[in-house]
Amino acid sequence: MAIPVARHNLGVTELHDAVLDWYDANARDLPWRSATATPWSVMVSEFMLQQTPVSRVLPIHEAWLERWPTPADLAAEPTGEAVRAWGRLGYPRRALRLHAAATAIVEHHGGEVPDSYDELIALPGVGDYTAAAIATFAYDKRHVVLDTNVRRVFARTLSGVEFPAQSVNKAERELAAGVLPQDEPTAATWSVAVMELGALVCTAANPSCARCPVTDLCAWRAAGHPAYDGPPRKVQTWAGTDRQCRGRLLAVLRDADSPVHRSRLDVVWSDETQRKRALEGLLKDNLATEVEPDFFALP
């Protein structure tokens, strides 16, 4: 479903003022947003926050920065330690990608997180959104930052639809660019402010329109809150999936001080076929290693 062009006459300055004033009064106090946060702290947070709520990220982010306050500190450790420290955040390949990015930063950028989009997107595991977010939030650069929350706010406020398309398209990017403030620091604050609005008020389910600072400017509200009519939205499942099985096996390896025998993995998941498939996947993804026949450990 393509996002339609907004059909209402939206005052961009009024929109900016309303969202920025709301953010100034309601922003959460998060460590990666503090005045003393390093670009590395911002980068770590962006990797951890992918498909993971803030509440789960906060303690792991704090422990991570205490142990590895710079990219060089992480790069000096084996990849298995990154997987172990990732804990139960889920999607542990992100830990491997963050380790690979830290290594590249040490090798090619003198241990300092680069500030340009082009250099950031060239790092392992860094895509368009992450590169734009790090450049924006760590260095006050002016980029379109489109995460799930931002896209939902713009879909409703600017385009009058409940949800955006399943993937970012050209029209959506142009729409976001059209309301991005010209001043770089203001643009950076705007990006995080819209993100916060989507996280706290303009939520996917049960949005709090009565508390929204732009409710009088919202095209979706003006249209009577029409229901989403695009392709079926993906619903993530967990129970009984290969992802859950992989997580169970990885937890055994993460909590062990030495290689574990296959029999210790067998007891945490009863379906032998699925367990074998999940273990093979962990080995293929370099999240586990077979140190000797039937003995497994983190890499």
Which amino acid, 225?
Answer: H
β-pairing, 295-297 vs 289-292, is: antiparallel
Token couple for 109: 């950028």
Is the CB of residue 143 less than 8 Å from the CB of residue 189?
no
- DSSP conformation letters of 170-203: HHHHHHHHHTS-SSHHHHHHHHHHHHHHHHHTS-
Question: Cα torsion at 265, 269, 272, 278 (round to 10°)?
Answer: -70
Catalytic pick among 46, 162, 172, 196: 46
Amino acid at 30: L
Q: Which residues have a Cβ under 8 Å from the Cβ of 261 and sit 6 or more positions away?
A: 294, 295
Write the single-letter amino acid at 222: A
Alpha-carbon distance 78 to 66, whole Å? Answer: 17
- Which of 280, 297, 273 is closest to 246 using CA atoms? 280
Active site residue 174: no
Dig out the tokens for 11 from the structure.
Answer: 């005052």
Q: Work out the number of other CB atoms within 10 angstroms of the CB of residue 35.
A: 4
Show which residues are catalytic.
46
